[in-house]
Amino acid sequence: MSGIHIALSRESNGLKTKRVDVMRTRILVVESSKLLTDLLKQYETTQEWQIYRAYTLKEIRQCLGRTVIDVILLNLVELKQNGIVILKKVRKLNVPVLLINSGNQLSLSVEGMKMGAFDDILMPFNIDTLIEKILESSKAKIKVKSKFPLMERFQNVLIAATFAEAGEAEIAKTYLTDNKVK
């Protein structure tokens, strides 16, 4: 999520603050084409984003094992039924999912929306529209976080326990450490 960490350091003339780290909205793009990922990477600095890319369920698990993702862009058409399987798994993580659809498989988008996807976007799309949808979905996650911080911590413990039971210790550890759950 967007935000700035401030570090205090003691100097001879007193305390000094400095900007240490800008936390970025972490976006996972699940599709086979690098074009969308490359396009979004052009906006990383101005939008305070960090873009990750995956195509298979294994790559998604690896990415989730390294970091907590804030928004997922999922191309259902390229992945067909596998995309629905992926959506079912990632929705358990309470991460907003934006579906990308080329328009010839609207039934997949409808099914995805029924399963809890945050929104969908039809290709070809205007990049400004996509950026706006990404911002909306990340704000939705921020509202949930700030409104129910204790609930979110509890949810992260449950998510971590679920991953641990499934033998995904690295992913479980990520949800405990990245979300500051003790």
Q: Over the stretch 115-159, which tens digit does the pLDDT of each residue have?
A: 888 898 888 888 899 999 998 888 876 554 545 556 566 667 777
Parent domain of 168:
148-182
Q: How many domains are contained in the chain?
A: 2
Instruction: Assess whether 163 and 128 both reside in one domain.
Output: no
* 122 shares its domain with 33: yes
In a domain, 54, yes or no: yes
Mean predicted lDDT score pLDDT of the chain: 74
pLDDT higher than 60, residue 59: yes
53 lies in a domain? yes
Residue that wins the pLDDT comparison between 120 and 89 = 120
Mean pLDDT of 102-108: 73
Does residue 85 sit in the same domain as residue 120? yes
Please indicate, yes or no, whether residues 161 and 121 belong to a single structural domain of this protein: no
Tell me, what's the pLDDT at 83?
A: 77
Residue 68 lies in a domain: yes
Q: What angle do CA 135, 138, 143 make, to 5 degrees?
A: 120
Is the same domain home to 90 and 179? no
The CATH number linked to 34 is 3.40.50.2300
Say if 9 falls within a structural domain: no
User: Would residue 168 count as lying in a domain?
Assistant: yes
Same domain? For 134 and 47 the reply is: yes
Using the predicted structure, report yes or no on whether residue 69 has a pLDDT greater than 90: no
Indicate whether 94 belongs to any domain.
yes
Whether residue 6 is contained in a domain is answered as no
Q: Are 165 and 83 in the same domain?
A: no
User: Same domain for 101 and 165?
Assistant: no
Q: 132 and 153 share a domain?
A: no
Please say which residue of 140, 156, 172 terminates a domain.
140
Whether 19 is covered by a domain: the verdict is no
Instruction: Tell whether the model's pLDDT for residue 177 goes beyond 60.
Output: yes
| Whole-number Å distance between alpha carbons of 133 and 12 | 48
